[in-house]
Amino acid sequence: MKITVFGATGRTGQQVVRQALDAGHQVAAVVRDPARLPVSHSALEVVTVADVTDPAALRPALAGREAVVSALGPRARKDAGIASAATRSILRAMELSDVRRLVVLSAVPVGPIPEGESFLNRAVAVPLMRRILSTMYADLAVMEHEVRHGSAEWTIVRPPRLTQKPFTGTYRRSIGGNVPGGHSISYPDLAHAMLAVLDDPATIKQAVGVAN
């Protein structure tokens, strides 16, 4: 496929770019600073965009593409708002460029607590995370709302805590909800999961929980 990756210089985004290239996809990586993307490949096009909230600025990165994978998200509380604002812009640029398929990155606390979850997670851990990082998760919730009400063929991927562990290719996923007892997933496995849903019709217009 011809894929555009947003958030390409982040830990998840870099993994998405590398794995997409290894899988034979053609990748347009949207970055603010090209020096922060240490990847070189004949099938890679690096597109520098200063403002990802400007749909017009994003259109060159979407020309001739078949799908968008967004690993954009707030890295700290001060970044809250970027996920929803950027995704709103991406959705508009996709409409203008006639690109339909979209995979976006969210987080477990934005979704419902699954049945069968432990009492500790249900009553303590998840509510505590939602409270401590409330502005970041509120931003992701708005982003999910924008995606659900847009015209794209979307999939929302919700991981739990992200780790630096190596790639395994072995993880659980739950279409339409979060993974019970799913405490963490590595960046490489998350990237693999995001690429795997691209051509999976069962995940279109669904939130998908993933966890090791």
Q: What is the pTM of this model?
A: 0.90
Report pLDDT digits (tens) over 156-176.
Answer: 999 999 999 999 999 999 999
pLDDT top residue among 126 and 110: 110
Tokens of 103: 């995979």
Bridge-based pairing of strands 206-211 and 2-6 is unpaired
Cα separation values, 6 from 90, 134, 178, Å: 9, 24, 24
Tokens of 28: 């347009």
Listed by start position, the domains of the chain span 2-211
Report pLDDT digits (tens) over 111-149.
Answer: 766 666 666 565 556 655 666 556 788 899 999 999 999
Distance CA 23, CA 25 (A): 6
Q: Which CATH superfamily is domain 2-211 in?
A: NAD(P)-binding Rossmann-like Domain (3.40.50.720)
Report pLDDT digits (tens) over 16-47.
Answer: 999 999 999 999 999 999 999 999 999 999 99
Residue 86 C-alpha from the chain's centroid: 12
Distance CA 172, CA 163 (A): 15
Cα separation values, 159 from 37, 88, 172, 195, Å: 23, 21, 10, 14
